[in-house]
Amino acid sequence: MHDPLFILFIGVLIVVGGIIGLKLHPFLALLLGAFVVAAMTPAAVIEEFALAKGATASAAASLAKKSIGERVATEFGNTCAKIGILIAMAAIIGKCMLESGAAERIIRSMLRFTGIDKAPMAFLVSSFFLGVPVFFDTVIFLMMPLAKAMTMRIGKNYLLFVLCIMAGAAMANSLVPPAPGPLFLIGEMNIPIGMMMVGGTIVGLFTITAGYFFALWANRRWPIPLRDALDARLEDIRAIAAKEDSSLPKLGVSLLPVLVPLVFICADTAVDALMVPPKTVVIRSAFPFGLVDMVQFFGDKNIAIISGGIVALLVLINHKKDSKEGLTPFVQAALTSGGSIILITAAGGAFGGMLQQTGISARIADLTSGYQMALIPLAFLIAAVVRTAQGSATVALITASGILSGMASAADLSFHPLYLGLAIGCGSKLVPWMNDAGFWIICKLSNLTEQEALKTVSPLLVVMGLTGLVIIMIAAQLFPLV
C-alpha cells in the first residue's frame, strides 16, 4: 500500500482516468490525484524525503506533520510562484502582439527571408537557440503567438509549427547550460561547462532534426486546425492578416516585446557566469557603479517578462492611438486565458510534488542500482523513468546525475563523463504527460486537447530522446575524448 510505485499507479489512474474517462476538468483531476497521493504517503516517508533533500531534522519533522491540505497547497503555491507572473504577462504579450499586428509583421518578414517551405525549420532552430538562455516556458509563451499568426497567414500546418517550437525549446532546456538542470548536472559529474555547451548543442541539433521529421509526419497524419481562443480569436487574427504592410508596426518595434526580456535574461546569464568567485570583485570594479546590480535586477525572469509586457502594451497603445477602445478588454481577455493556464499548471505541480514526497526517485534508484549494463543506456533509463514518474525534467536530471556521479568517477570509463551527462539530458525528455507542468503549458497555449497532446507532443519527445541516445553511443565509440 505504501510502495511509491503502487502510489504512482493509483495517481496515474486517477488523473488519466479522470480526464480522459470521466471528462473531468484537468484542474480537478490533477488536484484530486494530488490529494489521494498525499493521503497514501506515510509521515515517515515524507520526513525521509525532506532529509534527503537537505532539510534540517526539525524542518523535515515539521513537513511530515503538516496536513494533507497544507502539503498540497504548498506545492500548488510553489508552482504558482515559479510560473504565475510568467504566464500572466506572457498572455498579455501574446495578446498585444496579435492585436497590434506585431506578430503579423514578424511573420511576413520571416516568410520573405525563409520562404513558406522553410518557415517550420525557422521556428525549430529559433526555439532551440532561444531555449539556451531563456526558460522553456518563456520560449513557448513568446513563440506561440507567432505560430498562430503564421498559420493564419498560410492557412495550414498549425500542428507542425507547435511541435517545432516544442522540440527546439525542450531539448535546449535539458542539454545546454545555463538551464538549471544541465548546470547542476555538470557540477555533480565534473563536466566542463564549455564542453557541455558544445556537446549539448551538437546532440541537440541532431535530436531536433529527428523531431522535425516526426512533426512533418504527425502534421500529415493528424492535421489540427487553428482554433478560437479567448486571447486569440480567429476573426481577429484573420482581420490582421488582411492588413496592408503600411498599417502594421515596423519590424524593429514588433520584435521589442520578445527582444527586451531576451536581452535582459541573456545579460543576467552572462553576468552570473562572470561573477563566480574570485572574479566577483574584479567584475564589479570593471563596470560603472550599479550596472551589475541593474543587469541582475532586470535579468530576473519575472522582471524581464514584465518589462516585455510593458513594451507590448506600449506597442498596442501606439497602434490603437486613433481608436477609442481602451486596453482593458485586451488585458482582460489575456488574463482570463492565462488564469486558467496558471490554475491547471499549478495543479500539475502539486500532483508532481506529492509524487516526489512518496520517495519515488529513491525507489527507482534502488531498482536500477544493481543493473549490470552499459553506463550510457543506464543513465538514459534512470532519467527517463524518473521523468515519467514525477513529471519534472530538472528533477530527473538531478536524480540521475546524483545516482551516477559516484559510479562515473569510480568506474574505469573508456569515454568522457560528458556522454553520461548528455544521456541523462536526453533521458529526461521521456515521457511527458499529465503530471508535467510543461505539458499543460504547451497544451493550453496551443489549444490542443489532452488526447491530441498525448499522441503528438509526448511521442515527439520520445523520438528526440531516443535519437539522442543513439547519437551519444555512436559518438562515445568514435570520439571517446579520453
Distance of CA 110 to the CA centre of its chain: 24
For residue 417, pLDDT beyond 70: yes
Residue type, 250: K
For residue 403, pLDDT beyond 60: yes
DSSP letter, residue 116: S
Find cell 570594479 and name the residue.
285
CA dihedral 307, 310, 316, 317 (to 10 degrees): -140
Report which of residues 390 and 161 the model is more confident about.
161
Report which of residues 102 and 464 the model is more confident about.
464
Distance of CA 117 to the CA centre of its chain: 27
Closest of 213, 210, 133 to residue 176, by C-alpha: 133
Q: Cβ distance 240 to 149 under 8 Å? A: yes
Q: What is the pLDDT, as a whole number, of residue 372?
A: 40
Q: Cβ distance 355 to 35 under 8 Å? A: no
Cell of 167: 522540440
Q: What is the pLDDT, as a whole number, of residue 161?
A: 92
Average pLDDT rounded to a whole number, residues 350-377? 71
Find cell 509586457 and name the residue.
309
Average pLDDT rounded to a whole number, residues 68-83? 86
For residue 381, pLDDT beyond 60: yes
Q: What is the pLDDT, as a whole number, of residue 220?
A: 92
Average pLDDT rounded to a whole number, residues 449-455? 87
- Kindly report, residue by residue over 87-141, the tens digit of the pLDDT: 788 778 877 877 787 877 777 777 778 777 888 888 888 888 777 656 677 678 7
> Where on the phi/psi map is residue 287: left (φ > 0), alpha (ψ -120 to 50), or beta?
beta
Closest of 183, 180, 214, 137 to residue 467, by C-alpha: 214
Distance CA 251, CA 379 (A): 45
Residue 152 to residues 104, 158, 219: CA-CA distances in angstroms?
Answer: 9, 9, 16
Q: Which residues of 432-465 are buried (b: 16+ CB within 10 A; e: fewer)?
A: bbbbbbbbbbbbbbbbbebebbbebbbbbbbbbb
Distance of CA 210 to the CA centre of its chain: 19
Cell of 60: 523535515
Distance of CA 428 to the CA centre of its chain: 12
For residue 395, pLDDT beyond 80: no
Confidence band (pLDDT; 50, 70, 90) for 447?
Answer: confident
Q: Cβ distance 408 to 196 under 8 Å? A: no
> Where on the phi/psi map is residue 157: left (φ > 0), alpha (ψ -120 to 50), or beta?
left
Distance CA 460, CA 468 (A): 12
> What value does the mean pLDDT of the chain take?
79
- Kindly report, residue by residue over 271-324, the tens digit of the pLDDT: 776 665 555 555 555 566 577 778 888 888 788 888 888 998 888 888 777 666
Report which of residues 391 and 286 the model is more confident about.
391
Find cell 504577462 and name the residue.
89
If one counts every other C-beta atom within 10 angstroms of the C-beta of residue 84, the result is 19
For residue 325, pLDDT beyond 90: no
Residue-wise DSSP of 240-301: HHTS-GGGSPPHHHHHHHHHHHHHHHHHHHHHHHHTSTTSHHHHHHHS-TTHHHHHHHHHSH
Distance CA 139, CA 280 (A): 30
Average pLDDT rounded to a whole number, residues 205-215? 94
Average pLDDT rounded to a whole number, residues 445-460? 87
For residue 2, pLDDT beyond 80: no
Closest of 332, 299, 372 to residue 138, by C-alpha: 299
Closest of 254, 258, 216, 218 to residue 118, by C-alpha: 216
Q: What is the pLDDT, as a whole number, of residue 412?
A: 60
Distance CA 425, CA 325 (A): 48
Q: Cβ distance 196 to 181 under 8 Å? A: no
Average pLDDT rounded to a whole number, residues 352-368? 74
Find cell 511541435 and name the residue.
163
